[in-house]
């Protein structure tokens, strides 16, 4: 379905989306909250259309919102107990812009608490299930948003991507997932994970819809000083001629069906006259280690605001202010949140700052430079998104390092601030979805979206 193609009334569209949301909820646990009131907004839009009023580009289009976006509709929980009961007075800029064009939020989707994770199993409310196999993970952290689109509940969903949280669940569920250039979309009103790598983006069924959504949501925002001037609407897509592939990613640790899917695509592109450039990017091997130092450092700082005084949950068991902080945080955070707070405090502590944080920051610079060099040789890079297709529920949850390793191919982009787009790339023999990731230089988002449309035709 093309989201701009309004052939049904808003009420019909929203009613259908809500019916599907309820139908799938028990089996897949896509949503933390379903917004049954959405129907009222749809009625309003239909009335405005009937009166001949100008309605927006997305009038009546239902969408799903990752539960780490703030808005007064429903509780904004980030799937963590510590934010349970939190009704935000703030509306995220991305949400405001979508709603100004008439889009209607039909539910808040499940995630790993505070977006820490790669499977949505770290949610306080339990995991979301994969759209093709309910014994497998949805991917994460935006698992609910990916599955909402994959099951056809909504034509698009909002997510956040700090280290792969849009691209990896998109690939695990056979949908498109765009992490734009850092700063393309305002982060205002989104629960902060790691402010230097957090990006807002979308899941869709079609590449073309990403273009429409970027046109609506991207742009500078005075409430987020890291937003870039409006480059998306003003940029033109570059014609891609040279496609880079990363040699170091073609190794035994990567699932063979993923490597075959990449080879197939590359083979077809070559046959169609594209030049394939083999890249050596040795600094990328530092990306995962650097990410798991820099991100926890920022997490520990961003999560310090949750103290049981200002937002959501407060421990009932406290006889002093110190105990109130301690017990609220102990009870309200998930184990993975606490792990990151501890790692973050450790790598920032005076004795270890030079050995860990500073080194990681230097590795980050090497990675940024390496992408810059790579894009002198090619227009885009095509790589796997993750080393494996959707894994089994429970398979990695007790082994944080195994879980972190799943992020090895997605985190380098966030460290460098470059955009990445997951494109569906067929299925495994057992029917699981496969995806590949298009990577471009900063501000090449439009090129990626246009080239994704080309890849749609390249089987």
Q: Which residues contact 420 (CB under 8 A, 6 or more apart)?
A: 161, 167, 178, 179, 410, 413, 437, 438, 439, 448
How many Å apart are CA 134 and CA 26, to the nearest integer? 11
3 state SS of 382:
strand
Binding of ligand GLN at residue 164 (CB under 6 A)?
Answer: yes
* Three-state DSSP class for residue 384: strand
Which H or E run includes 412?
Answer: helix 411-416
Note whether 295 binds ligand GLN by CB under 6 A: yes
Q: Cβ of residue 341: shortest distance to ligand GLN, in angstroms?
A: 13
Using CB under 6 A as the binding rule, the residues of this chain from 172 to 211 that contact ligand GLN are: 193
Cβ closer to ligand GLN: 35 or 186?
186
Which CB, 118 or 328, lies closer to ligand GLN?
118
Q: Which residue among 99, 101, 379, 407 contacts ligand GLN (CB under 6 A)?
A: 407
Answer yes or no whether residue 298 interacts with ligand GLN by CB under 6 A: no
20, 66, 97, 396: the catalytic one is: 66
Please state the closest distance from residue 121 (CB atom) to ligand GLN, in A. Answer: 11
Q: Would you count residue 288 as binding ligand GLN (CB under 6 A)?
A: no
| Selection from 205, 165, 178, 208 nearest residue 68 by Cα | 165
Does 386 contact ligand GLN by CB under 6 A? no
d(CA 108, CA 271) in angstroms, rounded, equals 44
415 near ligand GLN (CB under 6 A): no
88 included as an active-site residue: no
118 binds ligand GLN (CB under 6 A): yes
**What angle do helix axes 335-348 and 287-302 make, rounded to 10 degrees?**
100
**What order of strands is seen across the sheet that includes strand 275-279?**
31-34, 104-109, 62-66, 156-161, 199-204, 176-179, 420-427, 433-439, 380-384, 242-246, 275-279
Is 66 a catalytic site residue? Answer: yes
Phi and psi for 242 in degrees, rounded to 5?
-115, 120
Name the residue nearer to ligand GLN (CB basis): 161 or 445. Answer: 161
Catalytic annotation on 165?
Answer: yes
CB-wise, 42 or 297, nearer to ligand GLN? 297
Q: Taking CB under 6 A as the rule, does residue 293 contact ligand GLN? A: no
Query: 108: which residues sit within 8 A by CB, 6+ positions away?
Result: 31, 32, 33, 35, 64, 65, 66, 67, 69, 74, 75, 76, 77
Residue whose Cβ sits closest to ligand GLN: 165
> Counting contacts by CB under 6 A, is residue 67 touching ligand GLN?
no
Stretches 158-166, 244-252, 275-283, 377-385: which one binds ligand GLN (CB under 6 A)?
158-166
Give the residue with the Cβ less far from ligand GLN, 316 or 401.
401
Place of tokens 């270890």: 352
Least separation in angstroms between residue 292's CB and ligand GLN is 8
Please tell me the distance from the alpha carbon of residue 455 to that of residue 439, in angstroms, as a whole number: 13
46 lies in the site for ligand GLN, by CB under 6 A? no
Q: Does residue 171 touch ligand GLN according to CB under 6 A?
A: no
Judged by CB under 6 A, the stretch of 3-11, 40-48, 154-162, 218-226 that binds ligand GLN is 154-162
Instruction: Return the residue of 107, 117, 127, 177 that touches ligand GLN, per CB under 6 A.
Output: 117
Residues in Cβ contact with 54 at an 8 Å cutoff, skipping those fewer than 6 apart:
none
Nearest to 31 by CA among 146, 203, 122: 146
User: Of 141, 145, 300, 302, which lies in the binding site for ligand GLN, with binding defined by CB under 6 A?
Assistant: 141
**Contact pick of 71, 130, 165, 383 for ligand GLN (by CB under 6 A):** 165
Count interface residues toward ligand GLN (CB under 6 A).
14
> Residue 134 and residue 392: Cα distance in Å, rounded?
9
Among 123, 162, 328, 388, binds ligand GLN (CB under 6 A): 162
Distance (Å, rounded) from C-alpha 248 to C-alpha 425?
20
Q: Which active-site residues does the annotation give?
A: 66, 141, 165
Which residue ranges make up the site for ligand GLN (CB under 6 A)?
Answer: 115-118, 141, 160-165, 193, 295, 407
């Amino acid at each position: 379905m093309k989201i701009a193609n309004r052939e049904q009334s808003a009420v019909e569209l929203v009613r259908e989306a809500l019916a599907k949301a309820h139908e799938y909820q028990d089996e897949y646990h896509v949503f933390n909250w379903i917004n049954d009131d959405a129907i009222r907004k749809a009625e309003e839009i239909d009335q405005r259309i009937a009166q001949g009023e100008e309605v927006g580009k997305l009038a009546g289009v239902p969408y799903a919102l990752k539960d780490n976006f703030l808005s007064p509709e429903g509780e904004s929980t980030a799937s963590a107990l510590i934010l349970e009961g939190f009704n935000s007075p703030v509306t995220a800029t991305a949400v405001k812009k979508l709603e100004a064009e008439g889009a209607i939020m039909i539910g808040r989707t499940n995630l790993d608490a505070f977006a820490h994770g790669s499977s949505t199993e770290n949610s306080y409310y339990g995991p979301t299930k994969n759209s093709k196999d309910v014994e497998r993970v949805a991917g994460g952290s935006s698992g609910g948003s990916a599955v909402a689109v994959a099951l056809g509940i909504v034509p698009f969903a909002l997510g956040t991507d700090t280290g792969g949280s849009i691209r990896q669940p998109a690939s695990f569920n056979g949908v498109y997932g765009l992490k734009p250039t850092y700063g393309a979309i305002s982060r205002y009103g989104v629960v902060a994970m790691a402010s230097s790598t957090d990006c807002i983006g979308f899941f869709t069924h079609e590449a073309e819809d990403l273009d429409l959504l970027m046109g609506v949501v991207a742009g500078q925002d005075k409430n987020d000083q890291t937003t870039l001037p409006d480059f998306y609407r003003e940029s033109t897509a570059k014609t891609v001629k040279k496609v880079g592939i990363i040699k170091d990613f073609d190794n035994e640790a990567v699932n063979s069906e993923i490597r075959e899917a990449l080879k197939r695509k590359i083979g077809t592109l070559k046959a169609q006259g594209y030049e394939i450039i083999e890249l050596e990017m040795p600094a990328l091997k530092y990306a995962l280690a650097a990410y798991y130092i820099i991100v926890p450092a920022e997490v520990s700082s961003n999560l310090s605001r949750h103290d049981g005084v200002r937002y959501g949950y407060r421990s009932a068991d406290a006889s002093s202010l110190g105990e109130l902080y301690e017990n609220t945080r102990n009870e309200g955070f998930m184990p993975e949140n606490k792990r990151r707070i501890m790692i973050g405090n450790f790598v920032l502590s005076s004795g270890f700052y030079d050995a860990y944080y500073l080194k990681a920051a230097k590795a980050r610079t090497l990675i940024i430079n390496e992408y810059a060099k790579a894009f002198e040789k090619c227009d885009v890079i095509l790589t796997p998104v993750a080393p494996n297709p959707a894994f089994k529920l429970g398979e990695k949850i007790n082994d944080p390092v195994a879980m972190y390793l799943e992020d090895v191919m997605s985190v380098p982009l966030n460290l460098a601030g470059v955009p990445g787009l997951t494109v569906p790339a067929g299925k495994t023999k057992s029917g699981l979805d496969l995806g590949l990731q298009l990577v471009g230089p900063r501000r090449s988002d439009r090129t990626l979206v246009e080239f994704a449309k080309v890849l749609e035709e390249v089987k």
